[in-house]
């Protein structure tokens, strides 16, 4: 039954994800993967939806909204001063070491295979998604959504340590 449901919904999901992805600032494949995961979670808990096409359309739009919210909240990393004199300053070196230590400690506290995934992303050898997926034993298509979940967990772990810069009021 699950296979029939997936086969019936696949063309609709491809079309809906392609239509919504650009406006959400994400890739259609990432949006598709997120909706498939949501469907599997639903099948485990509540069974198949009564109106699968309607459920799928709502799920795609919901995932697109979530992606837009995430994109809006993310801020680019502000690089440290580039002046060579600042880079060798003992205070600067101590702050950078403390930041790296806090990041590594937070990565170790992540659930599941997130620590291995984030370590691979932080690796100085800069592996490709294909190499990371091979190391972790997961499909390359699952890597983007899993990375997003892991980085969301990491962001929540670091929030108390790094004050979020948000507009208030």
Per-residue pLDDT reduced to its tens digit, 14-36: 999 999 988 887 888 888 999 99
Binned at pLDDT 50, 70 and 90, residue 129 comes out as confident
Which class would CATH give 87-158?
mainly alpha
Is the pTM above the cut of 0.85?
Answer: no
Query: What is the 3-class SS of the chain, one letter each residue?
Result: CHHHHHHHHHHHHHHHHHHHHHHHCCCHHHHHHHHHHHHHHHHHHCCCCCCHHHHHHHHHHHHHHHHHHHHHHCCCCCCCCCCHHHHCCHHHHHHHHHHHHHHHHHHHCCCCCHHHHHHHHHCCCCCCHHHHHHHHCCCHHHHHHHHHHHHHHHHHHHCCCCCCCCCCC
Tell me what pLDDT residue 115 has: 92
Q: Which among 97, 99, 93 is positioned nearest to 77, based on CA atoms? A: 99
Residue 40 has pLDDT above 60, yes or no: yes
Binned at pLDDT 50, 70 and 90, residue 84 comes out as low
Tell me the mean pLDDT in the region 133-142. 87
Task: For CATH 1.10.10.10, list the domain ranges present in the chain.
Answer: 87-158
Tell me what pLDDT residue 56 has: 94
Binned at pLDDT 50, 70 and 90, residue 121 comes out as confident
Tell me the mean pLDDT in the region 136-146. 87
Pick the range with the lowest mean pLDDT from 29-38, 45-54, 82-91.
82-91
Lookup: tokens for 5: 């449901």
CA–CA gap between residue 25 and residue 71 (Å, rounded): 7
Tell me what pLDDT residue 168 has: 46
Tell me what pLDDT residue 155 has: 85
Tell me the mean pLDDT in the region 106-125. 89
CA–CA gap between residue 127 and residue 136 (Å, rounded): 12
């Amino acid at each position: 039954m699950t296979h029939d449901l997936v086969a019936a919904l696949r063309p609709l999901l491809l079309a809906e994800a392609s239509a919504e992805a650009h406006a959400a600032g994400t890739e259609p494949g990432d949006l598709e993967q997120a909706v498939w995961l949501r469907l599997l979670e639903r099948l485990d808990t509540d069974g198949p939806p009564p109106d699968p096409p309607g459920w799928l359309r709502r799920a795609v739009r919901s995932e697109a909204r979530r992606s837009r919210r995430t994109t809006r909240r993310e801020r680019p990393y502000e690089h440290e001063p580039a002046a060579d004199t600042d880079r060798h300053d003992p205070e600067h070196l101590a702050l950078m070491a403390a930041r790296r230590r806090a990041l590594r400690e937070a990565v170790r506290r992540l659930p599941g295979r997130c620590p291995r995934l984030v370590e691979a992303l932080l690796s100085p050898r800069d592996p490709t998604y294909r190499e990371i997926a091979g190391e972790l034993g997961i499909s390359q298509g699952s890597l983007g959504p899993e990375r997003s979940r892991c980085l969301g967990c990491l962001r929540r772990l670091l929030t108390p340590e790094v004050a979020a810069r948000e507009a208030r009021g």
